[in-house]
Structures are given as C-alpha cells and as structure tokens.
A and B are shown apart, each in its own frame.
Chain A
Amino acid sequence: MGSVYLARDQHFPNVVKLVAVKEMINRAPDSLVRKTIVQNFEREANILAAINHPSIPRIYDYFSSGNRSYLTLEFINGKDLEAIINETPGFLTEERVLGWAIELCEVLQFLHGHKPDPIIFRDMKPSNVMINLQDHIVLVDFGIAKPFQVGQKGTMIGTEGYSPPEQYRGEAGPLADIYALGATLHHALTRRDPRLEPPFSFGERPIRKINPAVSSELDAVIGTALQYNPEDRFPNAEAMKDALVAAGHKTGILNRVGPNTTSIQTQSGIKPLWSFQCEDEVRGTPLYFSGSIYVGSYDHNLYSLNAADGTLNWKFATDGGVVTRPAVFEDNIFIGSEDKSLYVVSSRTGKIVWTYYSDGRVHSSPRIAEGHVFFGSDDQRIHAVNLLSGRAAWRFDAAAPIRSTPFVTQDMVYAGSEDGDFYCVDFRGQLKWHYKAKMAVTSSPWVADGVVYFASLDGTLYALDAHAGWVIWRFRMGKGSISSPCLMDGSLFVGSLDGNIYAVDIHTAKETWRFKTDHQVSGSPAIYKDALYCGSVDGNLYCIEYRTGRLRWKFATQGPITGTPLIYDDIVYTGSIDHFIYALLA
C-alpha cells in the first residue's frame, strides 16, 4: 500500500547518509476516517521513534502532506528473506536459519516486553525480515502501515499464510508472533510458501520430510511454535529462543565443531533368503511363475530358479545379453535377447518351443494380450506376433529403436521410441496418434482410466489422453528418466537420473514426496502391500512406505540395480550388476 524510496539526507552535505523514505497514501473516502488514520500513524511513529534495537530500523522523522504520509527510516543494505529463499538454489543451511531464528526471538522478546504496552509485530513473514550484509536480521514494515489499508469491502480477507488461527478472531497477542515466526522458519527451511497452501496446514508438511537435512531438534522447536492452540506453543519468545539454543548445542551447530555430518543411516541387518550367481550382470527384471523365478542375464542365459531356495531348474542360452523381463503364457516363457530374437521356451523343460526373429537387438520386454505377443526392437519396429502361429500379425514402423515395453489395452498398443516419439497404435497396427517428447522415451508406459503415463530423457513425466494424445499435464524432474512409472492409489511413482524416486499425484500433477538415493535411479519401482521397492545405481534396493516416502529398509548389493524388483508372496526378487540374483523378505 505504498512505495519506499531510497533517499539521501542533505542535512549532512559532507557525507553520504542514505535513508529510506516510506510513502503511504491515505485512500479513505471519509474525511473523519482519514484524520483517524493519520492520527494512528503518528501515534505509532512516536512509539517506534522511541525504540532502540539493532534489529529494528531507526526512525528519523515523519510528516504528512495532503493525503500522503511519510516516514524516514534507517536504510538497510541487504535483501529480504523471501528473496533469499527464492534465489538460493536448494535449501538454506540449518546453521544460517538457526542464527536468524535466535535473533528474531530476541527482537520479539524486546518488542513484547515493551512498556507500558507490549508491541505485537502482527506481520512476521519472510518479506518483512531483512538480512543485512553482515547476515544479521532487521525487522521491517511494522504495523505502522496497517491503518492505511482500506478495509475490504464485502466479505473477503486474504490470508497471508503465516498468521495463526486466533488472528482471524481478532486476538493477536505475543503468541501470534511466535506462530508466525514458526511459519517463517518453516518456509525458510522447506521452500514451501504457506500462501500457496491451505491455512494452518504446516502439520501436513513436516519439515524433515521435505528437507531431510534439518535436524529433528530444530524441527521439534518449530513444531511447538506452530501449535494450533496458543497455550501449546512456547509461553514467550524467550522460551523459544532457549529451545533454539538448546537445539543448536545438541546438534553441535552452535558448538562450532565443523561441518555437521550426522547422517541418518538405516543400517539394515537384512540378509538375503538366498542368492544366485550368474556369469555376468543381471540388468533385467525377474518373473514369477508357478514356484519358479525366471530371469535373464548379460551372460546370454535365461535362468529358471526355484523361488523358495534359489536352486537352478534349468538355463536356456541365447546368443546375446538378456536385459528384458520374461512373460508367460500357457506354461511357455517368452524372452527377448540382444541376439535380435524372441524366444519361446517351455517353463518345465527349458526347451525351445519357437523363435521369432527381428532385425535388431531386443531391449523391450514382451507383453502378451489378446492372443498376441507385443514387443519393440532396435530394428525400429513394434512387433505383434501371433501366439499360435509364431508369425508376425503386423509390424509398426517407427523412426527409431523401440526399447520401451508396450502397454496393451483392449484395443490400443502404447510404446515410446528412442527419438522421443510416443506411439499409440491400434490392433491392426495402424497409427492412432503420436506425441513427440524432446528426448528418448525408454520408459515403459502405464495406462489407467483413459490416461497414459510415461517418463522421458527430457526430464519430464508426461500424462497424455490415451484416446487422443492430448497432453494433460507434465511434471518436471531434475534430470531425464528411463524409469517406468507405476501407479497406486492415485499416485504415480517413478525414478529419475537425478537420483530421486518421485511420488506424484495423478490428478493434480503435484509432488507428494521424493526420496533421494545416492545415485541415478534407472530402474523402476514396484509396489507391494504398503511399500514401494526400487533399486538405484548406488547399489541399494530400497523399501519405502509408498504413502509417505519414508525409508523402511535398504539392502546393499555390490553393483548398480537397473531392473525392476519383483515381489511375490512376501519375497522380493532383484538382480544386480554384481552378477547376483537376490531373494529378500519383503
């Protein structure tokens, strides 16, 4: 409701003394109201003029002219906290925020202790906290501007997102400032602007879930400040300051013992039920069928292992690496190989039933539906092969290798290609629609309720209308992705080369949580009961509660995990580039 000017005080001709001049325009239509507003302004200016505190700008003078009133203040050279939050890539450090928090408590303690009447700041928020060049805080924009805001007509007020519930009942005491300070610190540590969230919803956004680097001690202090009922908060600013200092000592931040390296490792004592060593890397995904695990390896073999103890039933040798996931139909196992072939092998004997040849390496896994097997090949085609005859029903020509596994619904086949084209083909092999992503779509699509979801190396997770290819939403990840999304309870889960596993709401395209691993996530997640299982190039298999993103356990292998884990009957099966296949208790 006004402007701030940078001015030079010319009473001092020999030095450059800079001041801030704040201009407030009195817009009240009624002359009596206008007069009251000016009187209130002058009264508050007089109170502030008598205050002397390093975290509050000095007031030098005030005057009114026509319908404008002016306040001359100390010029603060620095930036407001909101700008700092927005300009900082990543999160602000706990150390910096803790330092500011303690200073803010001190200035609130000073204001609340003002005699004869306590001064309630009423408007604590990042944009009202200046950080000067020495990294100290200065509180600006006192309630002094408030009388100038013309009351809203009708039935509306906006919420600033930082104010406590009681402020909406017109009860703003010292504890309202405590709440708003908690809200300001929450925003600073999480980068989540409360003005963009429902009011009083901080409890739904725990700080450590968004920024796990924050200590549980500081988290707890802010949590107390943000209590819904004033009596559950700190009784005063001094108590909050004491709690902050205690937290800082406990975490060592205030003891200056060098960088804080407390990492929260969930050390798993998890031992595999069994493991099986192949002769080369296991990049593919296992399949469970009738008591056995089927999995391919870079050593050219398809293995059949006893699911209970990992003993070898048989192995079937192809002439190339096997990185795909097997499929099963009527006791036969289907598997694609880098030797360009699709093999159909008896699950009982491991003997070949029939073979189909494509003209390129097969990295796309076979999908069986409606009497046909569908898969892509580096020969730039989607193949539809009749299950009875073993002959091609049709081939769809794309413009680049197809490494994504087709998703087949009743009447459509969906697959991505290495040049970024995403295809929807009907059951006659005719193109229905296509969409061009900016980079390769290696990720395998998932279709549900008329929407197709897939990730791309261009760093985007896409939701397209499955009937017509319209883009419904896009979700940006830190880096590209070749991970295939999976869907559960209205959330989509996908890994990214930025090292995160993301959970995204399928209706709003908003992130519900993300889980950071120590390296790229090129494998795909799988959901079983209330948990998500996903491997990472950091070598770990992670078990995460899929609703919250909280780590339950992790299991370290000696090499990157790039396939999708399989969970069947409370047992997780995963391959690793360390040549092993592991079976673990889910």
Chain B
Amino acid sequence: MKKDFFSWLHIKKIKPASTDSDINTVPLPESQLDGLMANVHHLEPQQLIYGCGQSIGKQRDHNEDCVFTLSIAIGGEKSSFPLGLYIVADGMGGHQYGEVASSAAARTLAGSLLKHFLPYLVNPASGMEESLQELMRSAINDAQKAVTQAAPGSGTTLTAALVLGQQMTIGHVGDSRAYAIHQYGGGEILTRDHSLVKRLEELGQISPEEAAVHPQRNVLYRALGQGEVLEPDIFTAPFPQSGYLLLCSDGLWSVLSDSTIFRLVNAEKDLQSTCQSLVDAANEAGGPDNISVIVVQLKT
C-alpha cells in the first residue's frame, strides 16, 4: 500500500456522484512529503507508544489529577492494528474529594469501555453491537454515576482518547485538553474547554486579558459529577499521522503557550523525556496547579 500512497491520497478525492474530470488534487507541503517519505521503511505491526508525566505542581499540597494509559498491538496476517486508551481527569471539590472523583472517573471509564470492547477484540466474529461513539457515551455516563456516588458534591474533568487503528474517538467534558501535534511543528486543539470565561471570551464579551484574571476563570459549565444532565463532546478523527496526540490537564496548558508545547513535544527523542520536559517547563512557570500530560505516537 505504501508504494502507491500518493495515488491513494488522490483517489480519495473522487466524488462518486460527479464526473471523473473534476478531480481536484492539492499539492502536499514539503513537511508532509518528508513525513511520507520517512514512512517508507516501516515497522509492522503498527503500535502506539506513549509517555506520561505528572506533578503535584508548586502551589498545591496534593494531587487531584488522574491519568490512565493502555496500549495494545495485534499483529497478524488477517488483521493487524493497534489499540490504545488514554485518559486525563482533573478532579476538584476540595479536601479528598477531587482525587476520589478523578480516579473514579478515569477507572470507571476505562473499565466500562474495555468491558464492552474486549469481547469483540478477542472474537471479531461476535459483531459489534454498539458504535465506538456509543460505547464512549455510555462509559462516560457510567463514570458520571461513579463520581456522583464516590464523591458527591465534587466534580472532575475527563478527556479520553480511544485509538483504534487509524482512528481515534475522543470523549471530553471540562477543560482538560487534547491536541494533535504535527511532526514538524504546529498543531491544533481538538477539544473545546467547557469553561464559562472561555465562552464569554469567545462571544467577545470579555478580552483575553480580562479572561486571564477573571475571578470565575476556573468555573466550568460542564463537568462530571455536576448537574443532572451531562452532554459530553464525543467525536472521531484520524489519529495524527506521523505526529502526536497529547492529552493534558489545565496545569500544563494554562502556563505554557500552545507553541511552547508544540516545540517541546518535537524537541526530544523519546516520549518519556518529552513528558519530563513538559512537566518541568510547567513547574518553572510557577506550577500553580497539578500537572498531567500524556503524549502518544503511532509508530509505523
């Protein structure tokens, strides 16, 4: 497949309902060409490698964040694919409740997803009853129940990426973030912060400067464990090809600019060092909150 990768890219653009003569092709930028060329010698089977880092920060006395990672590779003639599950949860609510909430959310989500997906993984012939997005939705609902039970009155953010083959399905509530980061710098935020002040800023009601010091800047309008109705953001997107997926709590993104994060991710050779340098940079910037980060790469 790789040798004809370019024609494969172009073929995708054919519209079934139109004539062959209006195929549009877009020249690839140099960086992407390099990325594709770098793939010529590839490793089978495809596998997800990751690093993760966590720090209490410099101003808090305990850690209310929770991370969860899992990578599986299956290699074989008939089917060969990677599976990964990566979760960041940032609990809040004071006392012990924050950490109880984030831990309950991450574990319950992982448990629920795996319980429903593993039977299909070991026996693909069993057929999938529910879609990946439906599994993610019910797992988040389970996590919501677990948080309400384990730590009533508390709350937690939850950002989870289920990577399967080339696609990743992301479930998201709160203001932890998922980024897609390109191999040659640049990247984009995949998630939307469910933050009241962010929303006011989007609407042009307050300036970014006002937002940064707004007394309610930590107020979320959606979080697990809060309110009766929960509508998580759930979406599926291709896993960043020859790039990285990064999940983090606001302890990282609130003190490091996006460009700093993108630069640091591309600066190190292995993902553990990457996470170390990200956590160090957040602490050097004051470390006002707990810091959690997961960086994932699809090795091909």
Contact = CB atoms under 8 A, between A and B. Distances in A.
Contacts of B220: 156
B154 to A, nearest CB: 7
Given A153-B94, A199-B221, A468-B81, A447 B164 contact: no
A568 B17 CA distance: 11
A192 to B, nearest CB: 11
Contact of B167 (A168, A444, A472): A472
A10 to B, nearest CB: 34
Interface of B: 1, 4, 7-8, 11-12, 15-22, 79, 81, 92-95, 97-98, 127-128, 130-134, 153-155, 164-167, 169, 192, 194, 196, 199-200, 203, 205, 216, 218-221, 223, 226-227, 229, 231, 233-238
Given A156-B226, A411-B8, A467-B165, A486 B15 contact: yes
A269 B42 CA distance: 60
B229 A165 contact: no
Instruction: Bin chain A's interface residue count.
Output: 35 or more
Given A156-B226, A444-B16, A484-B17, A472 B11 contact: no
A484 B19 CA distance: 16
B126 to A, nearest CB: 12
Please list the 10 inter-chain residue pairs (A to B) with the smallest Cβ-Cβ separation, ordered nearest first.
A410-B8, A155-B218, A196-B231, A507-B235, A471-B131, A473-B133, A158-B227, A153-B94, A159-B221, A508-B235
A422 interface: no
Interface string A411-430: 10000000000000000000
Contacts of A367: 16
Nearest to B192: A198
Interface stretch (A238-246, A283-291, A543-551): A283-291
B19 A288 contact: yes
Contact of B203 (A228, A407, A527, A568): A228
Given A463-B236, A473-B134, A451 B154 contact: no
Contacts of A527: 15
Contacts of A66: none
B12 A448 contact: yes
29 contacts: A150-B153, A153-B94, A153-B154, A154-B92, A155-B218, A156-B92, A156-B93, A156-B219, A158-B227, A159-B221, A165-B203, A193-B229, A195-B229, A287-B19, A289-B19, A327-B20, A328-B20, A448-B12, A450-B166, A463-B131, A465-B167, A468-B81, A468-B165, A472-B167, A472-B169, A473-B133, A525-B17, A564-B17, A566-B18
Contacts of A407: 16
A474 B12 CA distance: 22
A507 B236 contact: yes
A409 interface: yes
Given A156-B220, A410-B1, A410-B11, A405 B131 contact: no
Contacts of A525: 17
Nearest to A508: B235
Nearest to B136: A473
A389 to B, nearest CB: 21
A9 B11 CA distance: 77
A48 B22 CA distance: 71
Contacts of B131: 463, 471-474
A508 B155 CA distance: 24
Nearest to B8: A410
A157 interface: yes
Nearest to B5: A410
Contacts of B93: 153-154, 156
A377 interface: no
- Which among A155, A408, A524, A567 has the greatest number of chain B C-beta atoms within 10 A? A155
B237 to A, nearest CB: 6
A471 B128 contact: yes
A508 B19 contact: no
Interface string A539-568: 000000000000000000000000010111
Contacts of B221: 158-159, 198-199
A525 B15 CA distance: 11
A510 to B, nearest CB: 9
Interface in A131-175: 150, 152-159, 165, 168
Given A471-B131, A566-B18, A200 B203 contact: yes
A444 B219 CA distance: 47
A330 to B, nearest CB: 11
Contacts of B19: 287-289, 328, 566, 568
A165 B20 contact: no
A412 to B, nearest CB: 9
Given A154-B94, A450-B167, A468-B81, A508 B234 contact: yes
Given A289-B19, A451-B167, A467-B165, A154 B98 contact: yes
A470 B126 CA distance: 12
Contacts of A505: 235
A384 interface: no
Contact of B223 (A156, A228, A328): A156
Contacts of A28: none
B155 A446 contact: no
A168 B20 contact: no
Given A152-B153, A168-B216, A410-B7, A470 B165 contact: yes
A369 interface: yes
B233 A508 contact: yes
A525 B16 CA distance: 11
A449 interface: yes
Nearest to B225: A156
A187 B166 CA distance: 39
Given A156-B220, A199-B196, A524 B17 contact: yes
A159 B196 contact: yes
Given A289-B21, A474-B131, A486-B17, A195 B236 contact: no
Contact of A472 (B21, B194, B196, B236): B236
B191 to A, nearest CB: 12
A523 B97 CA distance: 56
A509 B165 contact: no
B265 to A, nearest CB: 23
Interface in A522-546: 524-527
